[in-house]
Amino acid sequence: MTLIRLIGGRVLISLLTLLIVSALIFWILEVLPGDVASRILGRDATPETLALLRAQLHLEDPALTRYLRWLGGMATGDFGTALTSSRPIVTILEPRIFNTVLLAGYAFLLYLPLALIPALIQAVRRDRPADHALSAVTLVLLSMPDFLIATLLLVTFVVAVPLLPAISLVDQSSTALEYFRAMTLPAVTLAIVMAVYAVRMLRDNLIEVLGSDYVRMAELKGLSRRKVLLRHALPNALVPTLNVTALNLAYLIGGVVVVEKVFSYPGFGSLLVDSLQLRDLPLIEATVLIAAAVYIAANLLADIGAILLNPRLRAA
């Protein structure tokens, strides 16, 4: 019951946070001083087009009524209609979210070994040449922005060794192999960007856990070094790293704008930028709320994972 109560409390807090975020999004985009229709259409808009847009967005209704109508639509999957294309926003979001989820899954699969293996090597070989070399590599990668890493990968695998495409354009007619080739460079870029943060934290956590009393007791019982490291040390060292992983998961959905733009990948992040450039208010609201929901859900999963991995959190 304690475990169910803890997880239920985290879920309720996450839902409340998402409700507050939705109110902030609506307030910032629609309720701030200034005419929404004028901000969307620009200075050259005629009174007729302004009146038409105000009627389309129901701007004459009270703000609370518009917010509840918008929130109800979001909750039922009705995201409205895009202003620029007059298409249902759901039909615009579906292929972009599909592409980003595929890219995120590919990047996350690459992220796990890139984060775990160097951290394990550094923790086991602390203050040895391998530890210093890997620390230097991660420090260099930490100082490089994601667009620079993407550019270096483009130069290496497109110009110097032409193995992969420079532009990652895919659509619903693309084959699995075309998707794989198109996503490889963006996925490797994202995996590197995420892993360098996790490696340094996981290394320090592992070193601290390996020096704890229960790990020494496990060694005294005759357990092999490998079992002690993987069964006793690693699960406890992963708990603080889960927060970084949660941020990385959120970054994979809503924060990959730069990487998607560098490789021209038609994902959710590039859609968010396009909607801002086009001043498509319903599309902006939908994309920003989805990005916020992913961020909150990722942190919720990190909290639940920490509760399941660490019995002391349940006892507390």
Residue 201 Cα to chain centre, angstroms: 19
Q: Say what the pTM is.
A: 0.78
pLDDT at position 110, please?
Answer: 93
pLDDT at position 311, please?
Answer: 62
Q: Are 154 and 185 in contact (CB under 8 A)?
A: yes
Which of 301, 284, 310, 307 has its CA nearest to residue 108?
Answer: 301
pLDDT at position 222, please?
Answer: 66
Instruction: For residues 183 and 168, give the distance between their C-alpha atoms in angstroms, rounded to a whole number.
Output: 7
Q: What's the CATH superfamily of 89-315?
A: MetI-like (1.10.3720.10)
Digit-coded pLDDT (tens) for 122-172: 888 888 898 889 989 998 998 888 889 999 999 999 989 888 988 888 887
Portion of the chain with pLDDT greater than 70, in percent: 88
DSSP per residue, 139-180? HHHHTS-HHHHHHHHHIIIIIIS--S-SS----TT--HHHHH
Low-confidence ranges of the chain (pLDDT < 70): 1, 31-36, 39, 214-215, 218-224, 230, 232, 253-255, 309-316
Helix (H, G, I), strand (E, B) or coil at 221: coil
Q: In the chain, where does the domain assigned CATH 1.10.3720.10 lie?
A: 89-315
